[in-house]
Amino acid sequence: MVETKCKYFHPTKKVWQEIEVKIDKKLNFDYSKCTWFAIDGEFTGLYPQRDKSVMWTLASEDEEGNLRVEMLYTFDGDADLKTLTELITSDKEKIVWVGLADLAFLYKDTGVMMTQPIYDIRYASTISRTYTPEHSLDLLVLSLLKFNEDVTNKKVMGQSKEFALPPESWSETLHQYNVNDVIYLKALSDKLKELTVRMEREDLVKAANEVLPNLALLNAKGFYRNIFNFGYKDTDMGSGVVIPSR
């Protein structure tokens, strides 16, 4: 087990806090009483039939409502996936960020598909915030949580080679990068749910989240392109403009 500390800006208290993070080949927290968890994966590539997961980062709350984070290291192929499998098929809300690849690799790792309820932040933002084509994690944190922080830690992208090394050799920057992918998802989901109701589009967000497991299954089986994009060779997802093929 590897233990590290990462920073977290509390979205309601508006103060920086420090949280302890555990990295292990099994999940150690008790999830029996939590009603939600956020999850994000890191992979050696984006093709489940070729690549494999490196780790899964999970954020949730303890009984006192305090945020907690742990990472499940799966790169070596000998991780204990029992608790992870139970979680993704439970009735707890699963919050993801652009979850298509996450669900596909979870299916590869555990042999089961994540079940509802699922809330994909990117789907919800794209549907409810049609006044902008910008839906990056950084901009959502700035726009909805009202603080400016490089939560995606762009400077770490050049260090992605560290994922091939054991976790004890990872830099503090890489640890923070992994944690940032999940620690703000719950707060963002709460804000987006409020916005979706005001926009009267909650039924559309629900429908998008319901179809996500089926799209992930296609992805896991090797159908990486959008098979529903008939007659088009490109799609601008930001503006909704499609370019017909000739």
Q: Are 121 and 64 in contact (CB under 8 A)?
A: no
Cα–Cα dist 45/53, whole Å: 8
pTM score? 0.89
Q: Are 62 and 4 in contact (CB under 8 A)?
A: no
pLDDT of 31: 97
Angle at 207 between CA 127 and CA 216, to 5 degrees: 95
Cα–Cα dist 139/154, whole Å: 13
Residues across the chain:
246
Tokens describing residue 240? 């909704």
Spatial strand order of the sheet with 118-120 comes to 2-9, 16-24, 67-73, 53-61, 36-43, 93-96, 118-120
**pLDDT tens figures, 193-222:** 999 999 999 999 999 999 999 999 999 999
Strand partners, 68: 60
Cα–Cα dist 171/158, whole Å: 12
Instruction: Name which of 91, 121, 101 is nearest 48 in CA terms.
Output: 101
**pLDDT tens figures, 27-74:** 999 999 999 999 999 999 999 999 999 999 999 999 888 999 999 999
**pLDDT tens figures, 151-164:** 655 545 444 557 77
pLDDT tops 90 at residue 242: no
CA atoms within 13 A on the CB side of 207: 5
